[in-house]
């Protein structure tokens, strides 16, 4: 082959990849016509609207100063990759909102790349009308990705709304129960729901690319079902979290410990103690340690000491507990003999200078 032929071959345009038939997706999700193009949208009913007390949700979210739960918007995306970035496309959007006292799940599927504007316009309108966004890992992934798609399409992102990420809430509440906090795990262990025939999340990008290449929509049906279940589970999960916080649903001792820690950080000492009554029934060391701290802050020093003694029987952090007991006996109960006993055992829990000062101070009490 001559050099000219080689150059001509290199410069020739690549063969066009066959596009998905225009009616392929319409057979699965009918298209609505908008000024910006077709909008492939399907809706599903999901029962009564969730009961979301704003104060309860604010406590579980930790860090949200104000929340209005009258118009929540749950959302989830399926994307062309899991790394995010400007090259990642959200080809399926799942949303749940409240209409006339009922929860409605809406799904929008892109027919092809470059057709995002109708979906983004629809989403912007819903976000502008909502009072709080609710997602599962959406703060870190879905929402930044969607905002980037607005920018890439030269559109103004919707106004910011308070955002409750159920991954963060679940991590606080269930950290003593679950080793992993995937939504599917929470479905099984918390909601007692087991998916059947679900597509693996890692296979979802391949399903989209297969549709673009071949026009086949059979696998997309599984992706739609997966996304719909994700959105429904968020609605169910937040109701379970709120019911547990409001003490309307029985919880495991380990879950009670997580709720107690949330209540403590939220400044609700009375609720924290009620949850700790459940958590300490199993003898959890962390529960006794937290109970001791709550009692100490309330000025109930004898009760704090009692809780620390129980913790000492179970904990692997004996030196740290001895240090807390030494401080209580020395500074609050003025029992210097017991303070000295615990000070002798707390050296690994404090720096050498502080420990030496403590020992010197207590020794001086016995030479007066």
CA 142 to the chain's CA centroid: 12
* Beta strands 72-79 and 132-135, pairing class: parallel
- The whole-chain average pLDDT of the chain stands at 92
Environment class of 7 (CB within 10 Å of its CB; exposed 0-12, middle 13-18, buried 19+): exposed
Express each pLDDT in 178-235 by its tens digit. 999 999 999 999 999 999 999 999 999 999 999 999 988 989 999 999 999 999 999 9
189, 178 Cβ separation under 8 angstroms: yes
User: Residue 64 — very low, low, confident or very high, per pLDDT cuts 50/70/90?
Assistant: confident
User: Residue 6 — very low, low, confident or very high, per pLDDT cuts 50/70/90?
Assistant: very low
| Region class of 67: left (phi > 0), else alpha (psi between -120 and 50), else beta | beta
Give CA separation, 116 vs 37, 84, 123, 224, 330, in Å.
9, 16, 11, 17, 67
> What's the pLDDT score for residue 18?
47
> What's the pLDDT score for residue 87?
78
- What does the pLDDT average to over 159-164? 95
User: Residue 4 — very low, low, confident or very high, per pLDDT cuts 50/70/90?
Assistant: low
Q: Which domains occur in the chain, in start order?
A: 22-245 (3.30.420.10), 253-365 (1.25.40.10)
Check whether 368 has a pLDDT greater than 70.
no
pTM: 0.89
Check whether 301 has a pLDDT greater than 60.
yes
Counting residues of the chain whose pLDDT is more than 70, the rounded percentage is 92
Closest Cα to residue 136, out of 249, 251, 230, 264? 230
Residues 286, 291, 294, 299, CA torsion sign: negative
Counting Cα atoms < 13 Å in the Cβ hemisphere of 360 gives 6
Q: Who's near 294: CB < 8 A, 6+ residues apart?
A: 264, 269, 272, 273, 276
Q: Who's near 136: CB < 8 A, 6+ residues apart?
A: 76, 165, 166, 167, 183, 230, 234, 237
Closest Cα to residue 159, out of 117, 119, 131? 131
User: Residue 23 — very low, low, confident or very high, per pLDDT cuts 50/70/90?
Assistant: low
Give CA separation, 322 vs 208, 311, 316, 329, in Å.
59, 10, 12, 10
> What's the pLDDT score for residue 281?
94
């Amino acid at each position: 082959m001559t050099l000219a032929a080689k150059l001509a071959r290199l410069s020739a345009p690549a063969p066009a990849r066959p596009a998905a038939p225009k009616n392929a997706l319409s057979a699965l999700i009918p298209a609505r016509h908008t000024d910006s193009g077709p909008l492939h949208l399907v809706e599903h009913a999901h029962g009564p609207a969730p009961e979301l007390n704003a104060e309860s949700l604010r406590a579980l979210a930790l860090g949200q100063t104000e929340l209005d739960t009258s118009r929540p918007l749950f959302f989830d995306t399926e994307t062309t990759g899991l790394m995010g970035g400007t090259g990642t496309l959200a080809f399926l959007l799942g949303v749940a909102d409240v209409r006339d006292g009922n929860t409605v799940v809406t799904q929008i599927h892109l027919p092809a790349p470059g057709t995002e504007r109708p979906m983004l316009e629809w989403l912007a309108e819903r976000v502008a009308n909502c009072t709080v966004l609710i997602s599962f890992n959406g703060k870190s992934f879905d929402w930044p990705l969607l905002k980037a798609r607005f920018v890439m399409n030269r559109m103004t992102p919707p106004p910011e709304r308070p955002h409750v990420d159920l991954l963060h809430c679940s991590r606080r509440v269930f950290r003593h129960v679950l080793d992993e906090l995937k939504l599917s795990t929470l479905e099984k262990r918390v909601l007692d729901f087991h998916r059947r025939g679900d597509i693996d999340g890692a296979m979802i990008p391949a399903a989209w690319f297969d549709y673009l290449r071949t026009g086949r929509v059979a696998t997309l049906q599984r992706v739609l079902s997966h996304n719909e279940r994700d959105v429904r589970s968020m609605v169910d999960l937040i109701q379970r979290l709120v019911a547990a916080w409001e003490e309307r649903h029985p919880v495991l001792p380990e879950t009670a410990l997580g709720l107690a820690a949330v209540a403590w950080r939220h400044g609700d000492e009375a609720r924290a103690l009620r949850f700790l009554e459940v958590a300490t029934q199993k003898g959890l060391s962390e529960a006794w340690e937290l109970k001791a701290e709550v009692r100490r802050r309330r000025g109930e020093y004898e009760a704090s000491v009692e809780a620390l003694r129980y913790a000492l029987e179970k904990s692997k952090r004996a030196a740290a507990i001895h240090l807390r007991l030494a401080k209580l006996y020395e500074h609050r109960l003025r029992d210097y003999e017991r303070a000295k006993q615990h000070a002798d055992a707390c050296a690994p829990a404090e720096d050498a200078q502080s420990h030496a000062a403590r020992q010197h101070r207590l020794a001086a009490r016995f030479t007066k």
